[in-house]
A and B are shown apart, each in its own frame.
Chain A
Amino acid sequence: MSDHTGLRVRDLAIDYEGRAILRDVNIDVHPDEIVALLGPSGSGKSSLLRCIAGVQQPSIGVIAWDGEDITTTPAHRRRIGLVFQDPLLFPHRDVGANIGFGLAAEGRPQRVAELLELVGLAGFERRDVATLSGGEAQRVALARALAPRPRLLLLDEPFGALDRDLRDRLAVDVRTLLRAQGTPALHVTHDREEAALIADRVVQLAPPTAAP
Chain B
Amino acid sequence: MTRSETSRRGRTRASGAAWAITPLVVVGTLVLLPVAAVVVAGLGTEALETILAPSTWRIVAYTAAQAVASTVLSIALALPAAYALYRLALPARRTLLAVVTVPFILPTVVVGLAFREILPFAGTTAAIIVAHVFFNVGLVVRIVGGLWGHLDERLIDVSRTLGISPIRTFTRVTLPLLRPAILGAAALVFLFTFTSFGVVLVLGDPSLPTIEVEIYTATAQRLDLPAAAGLALLQFVFVALAVAWSMRLQERASVRQHLGDDERRAPVASAWDRACAAWTWALAAAIAIPLLALVARSLRVGDGWGLAWYREAFSPADATTRAASAAESLALSLQYAAVATLLATALGALACAGILAAGRRGAWIDAALALPLGVSSVTIGFGLLLVSLRGPIDMRGSWILVPLGQALVALPVVIRVVLPLLRSVDPRMRQVAATLGASPLRAWWATEGGLALRGIAVAAGLAAAVALGEFGATAFLVRLDAPTVPVQIVRLLGRPGEANLGVAAVLSVLLLVLTLVIVGAAERIRPRRSGGW
Question: Is B a genuine binding partner of A?
Answer: yes
Q: Which of B111-119, B162-170, B209-217, B392-400 contacts A (4 or more CB under 8 A)?
A: B162-170
Decide if B163 touches A79 in the complex (CB within 8 Å): yes
Q: Is A162 part of the contact surface with B, judged by Cβ < 8 Å?
A: no
**B169: which A residues are within 8 A, CB to CB?**
76
Q: Is A55 part of the contact surface with B, judged by Cβ < 8 Å?
A: yes
**B177: which A residues are within 8 A, CB to CB?**
91-92
* Residue in A76, A84, A130 whose CB lies within 8 Å of B164: A76
B164-190 contact mask (Cβ, 8 Å, vs A): 1 or 0: 111001001100110100000000000
Q: How many residues of B contact A (CB 8 A)?
A: 25
Q: Is B523 part of the contact surface with A, judged by Cβ < 8 Å?
A: no
A68-84 contact mask (Cβ, 8 Å, vs B): 1 or 0: 00000011111111101
A151–B166 alpha-carbon span in the complex (Å): 20
B139-171 contact mask (Cβ, 8 Å, vs A): 1 or 0: 000000000000010111111111111100100
Decide if B163 touches A82 in the complex (CB within 8 Å): no
A144–B158 alpha-carbon span in the complex (Å): 9
B-facing residues in A98-138 (Cβ within 8 Å): 101-102, 130
* Residue in A55, A84, A130 whose CB lies within 8 Å of B160: A55
Q: Is A10 part of the contact surface with B, judged by Cβ < 8 Å?
A: no
- The main secondary structure of chain B at its interface with chain A is helix
**B166: which A residues are within 8 A, CB to CB?**
74, 76
**B152: which A residues are within 8 A, CB to CB?**
88
Q: Is A158 part of the contact surface with B, judged by Cβ < 8 Å?
A: no
Decide if B155 touches A145 in the complex (CB within 8 Å): no
Decide if B255 touches A92 in the complex (CB within 8 Å): yes
Decide if A54 touches B161 in the complex (CB within 8 Å): yes
A86–B269 alpha-carbon span in the complex (Å): 26
Assuming the contacts A91-B255, A101-B164, A148-B162, asked whether A75 and B157 have C-beta atoms less than 8 A apart, the reply is: yes
A122–B161 alpha-carbon span in the complex (Å): 24
A130–B164 alpha-carbon span in the complex (Å): 23
A77–B162 alpha-carbon span in the complex (Å): 9
**A79: which B residues are within 8 A, CB to CB?**
163
Kindly report which residue of chain B lies nearest to residue A102, judged by CB atoms.
B162
**A90: which B residues are within 8 A, CB to CB?**
155, 158-159, 173
Q: How close is A55's CB to chain B, nearest CB, in angstroms?
A: 4
- Which B residues are within 8 Å of any A CB, using their own CB? 152, 154-166, 169, 172-173, 176-177, 179, 255-258, 269
Additional A-B contacts beyond A80-B161, A90-B158 (4; CB < 8 A): A50-B157, A74-B165, A76-B161, A88-B154
Please, could you name 26 A-B residue pairs with CB atoms under 8 Å apart, sorted by A? Answer: A50-B157, A53-B157, A53-B161, A54-B160, A76-B161, A76-B165, A76-B166, A76-B169, A80-B161, A81-B161, A82-B157, A82-B158, A82-B161, A84-B158, A86-B154, A91-B255, A91-B258, A92-B176, A92-B255, A101-B159, A102-B162, A102-B163, A102-B164, A145-B162, A147-B162, A148-B163
- Which A residues are within 8 Å of any B CB, using their own CB? 50, 53-55, 57, 74-82, 84, 86, 88, 90-92, 101-102, 130, 144-145, 147-148, 150
Closest 4 CB pairs of A and B: A102-B162, A75-B160, A55-B157, A91-B257
